[in-house]
Structures are given as C-alpha cells and as structure tokens.
Amino acid sequence: MKKIAVLSNVIPDVWLEGQGITLVREAECSQHEPVTLRAGMCGYLAFLPALLADVDGVVLTTTCDQMRRAAEWLDADDRVFLFNYPSTLHQECLIDAEKARLKGWVAQLKLRSNLQHERDARVCDTRTHGQQDIRQVADHGRIAIGVIGGHFCGERQAVENFFAQRGVQLALWGCEGGESVGDVAQRPNDAFYEHLKTLVTQRHLAGLIVVRTTWCDLWRLACVRLHEVLDVPVLEWVMDGQSHGQPFPDSTSRTRLEAFCELLQAQCQEAP
C-alpha cells in the first residue's frame, strides 16, 4: 500500500478514499533531519526532503506560497503533486478538475513506483484524534486553549506536555495536519473567522495561539484580525523550527508561552 503525505487541510481524506493508499498529514519534524534552505524559505520546508524519502508521494497546495515554492524546489514532478486550489468562492468546476487530476496522479504513482515498504496500513486521521482529546479536556474542566496556524515545525506531543505541566490543556489543534479550522487563504474569508469564533465558544477556549513561520504572511495577517474579532487573548508564536535534536521549547518560545499561561491563569482566578 502506497504512502502519500497530504500537507494541507483543504484536501480532505474523503477525496482520496478508495485509492488504496495510506495518508500522512504531518511531516513529523522531530524525526527528520532538516536541510539548509535559501533565504526566504520557511523552516518547515527544511524537513520535506526527508519526508519525501520516507513516503511514495507528497501532495502540496497553492493556498500556501511556501508550499508552492516547495513543489518547484523539490524538483520531483513524478512524486510531488501541486493542487491548484482557487482562493475565491464558487469555483467548484475548477476544484472538480483538480480533484480528477489528483486522482490520475495517484493512479500513475501506484503504477510507476516499485518500492516495497512494510507500511502501517492504518489511515492516520489526526482530526478525529483531536476531537477525542477535546472531550477529555471538557471532562477535566481545566484551562483550555487552542493552537492554530500553518505547518508546525515541531512535535505536537511536546507542546501538549509543556502546557499540561502548567495546568493548561489543548482543546483545539488546528495546525495543518490537525483539525480543520477553515480556509484562511479564501477570499473573502469571513467564514473562517466566524467558524473560529464558534469554536472558541463551543470548546470554552480561554485563549488562542497562532503558529506561523517568518515568511507566512497569511497567518501573520490572520493573527492581527483575530485580535479584533475574538474575546479571548491571542498569542502569535513565530516558530521556524529548531536545530535537529534540540529540546523543546527554545528559550524565546518558553518565555512567551509561559507568560501566556500565566495570563490565562490570572484571568481564570479573576473570573466570577
């Protein structure tokens, strides 16, 4: 069974059902060694060559400028598919055409590849896992926060452990590969902000962290807007990846995240 990494939540699992493939939604940065990048390229791209060596194919989308660059930079058209996702509404015909092109690419990939790996045939759907975690957070009644953003250059479990040690639980993991929180690249993207407002209310989130890399303008602008539309504290966390094997978090991240936890705890104590 072929293993294909799909690195965007705008492409749901259902589009690839029945194709006889195993889906990977995250690059597992902590398990791969990064390569050196050119200036202007985000840290997440540094892990893609190792990911490509570990799977049979990678699917990227044009909703992220960095992923668009990665498709060209990886220079492996037979194993890297760039899905041209329209940024405006009511483009169903274009999406259907791209879905058909993606399906054909998967079929050709299966025919071309002679790699014989022993793979775990279980499709990994991290969004379902995230929803199960949410129920546990609600049951424990602890301070709940959400983490959203683009591709995460780190290990999710390390982040969960970091907050758990400070009495804070992740009730929403909305980075790429996690639970879908809407399409931030869509124009207009009012539905994205309305959906997030609903999630904050439904999940009883006390705060929201927006993860981005230095070159991610989409999430940089979204963070500014979220400060305006949400009634909870919003923290911008710029994370370009860490040196391979470096413990999480680095000193700068630790200071910001700990201060955020202290803010939420103080607000919780002041609440009636």
- Average pLDDT of the residues in 51-58: 94
35/30: higher pLDDT:
35
Q: What is the C-alpha separation between 171 and 139, in angstroms, rounded? A: 11
Domains along the chain with CATH numbers: 2-111 (3.40.50.11890), 126-270 (3.40.50.11900)
Mean pLDDT of 44-60: 93
Residue 126 has pLDDT above 70, yes or no: no
For residue 160, what are the CA distances in angstroms to 22, 172, 173, 198, 257? Answer: 26, 11, 10, 23, 12
Q: Are strands 168-174 and 143-149 parallel, antiparallel or unpaired?
A: parallel
Place of tokens 């539309």: 229
pLDDT (average), residues 8-30: 90
Give the tens place of pLDDT for each residue, 90-124: 899 999 999 999 999 999 988 875 443 433 333 33
- pLDDT of 160 above 60: yes
- Report the candidate in 86, 78, 55, 58 with the shortest Cα–Cα distance to residue 70: 58
| Average pLDDT, rounded, for the chain | 85
pLDDT at 132: 40
Q: Are strands 207-212 and 21-24 parallel, antiparallel or unpaired?
A: unpaired
Higher pLDDT, 43 or 12: 12
Under a CB-based contact definition with an 8 Å cutoff, are residues 196 and 226 in contact?
yes
Residue type, 246: Q
Percent of the chain having pLDDT more than 70? 86
Q: How far apart are CA 253 and CA 124, in angstroms?
A: 29
Mind listing the pLDDT tens digit for each residue in 256-267?
Answer: 999 999 999 999
Contacts of 223 (CB under 8 A, 6+ apart): 210, 212, 234, 236
Query: Which pLDDT score is estimated for 113?
Result: 56
pLDDT of residue 30: 73
Question: What mean pLDDT comes out for the span 147-154?
Answer: 90
Instruction: Categorize the per-residue pLDDT at 28 as very low, low, confident or very high, splitting at 50, 70 and 90.
Output: confident
What is the distance between the alpha carbons of residues 227 and 225, in angstroms, rounded to a whole number? 5
Inter-CA distances, 183 with 9, 67, 79, 122, 153, Å? 8, 15, 25, 27, 20
- pLDDT level of residue 215 (50, 70, 90 thresholds): confident
Tokens of 79: 């194993």
pLDDT digits (tens, 9 = 90+) for 163-212: 999 999 999 999 999 999 999 999 999 999 999 999 999 999 999 999 99
pLDDT reading at 136 higher than 60: no
Residue 265: enclosing H or E segment and its boundaries?
A: helix 251-270
- What pTM, to 2 d.p., does this model score? 0.74
- With CA atoms as reference, report the closest residue to 8 among 101, 89, 71, 78: 71
Residue 137 vs residue 95, higher pLDDT: 95
